[in-house]
Amino acid sequence: MLPDIGEGIVECEVVTWHVAEGDTVEEDQTIVDVMTDKALVEITASEPGRIVRFHYAQGENARVHTPLYAYVPDEEAEAESAESDITAPEHKQVQPERLAEHRQEGDDKSDNKSGQDGRHAESRPRIPATPAVRRLLREHQLDIRAIAGSGRNGRVLKEDVLAYLKQSEAHETDVTPDDSHKIAEAAEADKAPAQACAVASDEVRSSRLESKAVPLKGVAAVMARRMVQSSTQIPHFHYGDELDITDLLALRARLKVRAEQQGIRLTLMPFIMKAMALAVIEEPILNARLSEDESEILYQGACNIGMAVDSASGLMVPNVKGVERLSILEIAREVGRLTEAARSGRVAQADLKGGTLSISNIGALGGTYAAPIINQPEFAIVALGRTQRLPRFDGEGNVCARDIMTITWAGDHRIIDGGTIARFSNLWKHYLEHPDEMLLSLS
Which positions are annotated as active-site residues?
A: 413, 417
Give me the DSSP letters along 344-365: TT---HHHHS---EEEE-GGGT
What is d(CA 351, CA 107) in angstroms, rounded to the nearest whole number? Answer: 39
What is d(CA 387, CA 381) in angstroms, rounded to the nearest whole number? Answer: 19
Radius of gyration of the chain (CA): 30
Closest CA to 247 of 280, 271, 270: 271
In this structure, what are the phi and psi dihedrals at residue 345, rounded to the nearest 5 degrees? 80, 15
CB 302 within 8 A of CB 356: yes
What is d(CA 226, CA 382) in angstroms, rounded to the nearest whole number? Answer: 18
DSSP 3-state of 249: helix
Residue 189, C-beta contacts closer than 8 angstroms, at least 6 positions apart: none
> Counting Cβ atoms within 10 Å, is residue 187 exposed (0-12), middle (13-18) or buried (19+)?
exposed
CB 421 within 8 A of CB 411: yes
Length in residues, the chain: 443
CB 73 within 8 A of CB 47: yes
Closest CA to 20 of 141, 120, 149: 141
Max Cα separation, the chain? 97
Residue 244, C-beta contacts closer than 8 angstroms, at least 6 positions apart: 392, 402, 403, 404, 433
Half-sphere exposure in the Cβ direction for 149 (13 Å, CA): 17
> End-to-end alpha-carbon separation of the chain, Å?
48
